[in-house]
Amino acid sequence: MEAINHSVGEVGGSVLWRAPVQGSVVGNLEGFHEVLAVWYPSHKAFLELPDADGAKEMFRYRRTCVEEAHILELPDLT
């Protein structure tokens, strides 16, 4: 988790929250164990994440530990 916090922070973002998946009313979430919400200050910052300091390590962990992931970009809800 420290690698995520570091890399996201390098582009000006922050991890808002993370929580374990306990179930689903609709859809098959078998194999999903956690949801992570990350805030980025802009779309540009979101796209800069792969080049951020520490991102290579973060993505290496992801390839090793995460079988499937969905990365969704949402509009600003504030």
Please tell me the predicted confidence (pLDDT) of residue 17.
94
Please tell me the predicted confidence (pLDDT) of residue 72.
83
The gap between the terminal CA atoms of the chain, to the nearest Å, is 26
Mean pLDDT calculated for residue range 4-19: 92
Residue 13 has pLDDT above 90, yes or no: yes
Please tell me the predicted confidence (pLDDT) of residue 38.
92
Please tell me the predicted confidence (pLDDT) of residue 11.
94
In this structure, the number of other CB atoms found within 10 A of the CB of residue 48 comes to 16
Convert the pLDDT of each residue in 23-67 to its tens digit.
888 888 787 888 999 999 999 999 998 899 888 888 887 778 777
Place of tokens 């973002």: 13
Q: How many whole angstroms separate alpha carbon 34 and alpha carbon 52?
A: 23
Q: How many whole angstroms separate alpha carbon 75 and alpha carbon 36?
A: 16
Q: Which two tokens stand for residue 76?
A: 């600003």
Domain ranges of the chain: 2-65
Please tell me the predicted confidence (pLDDT) of residue 54.
85
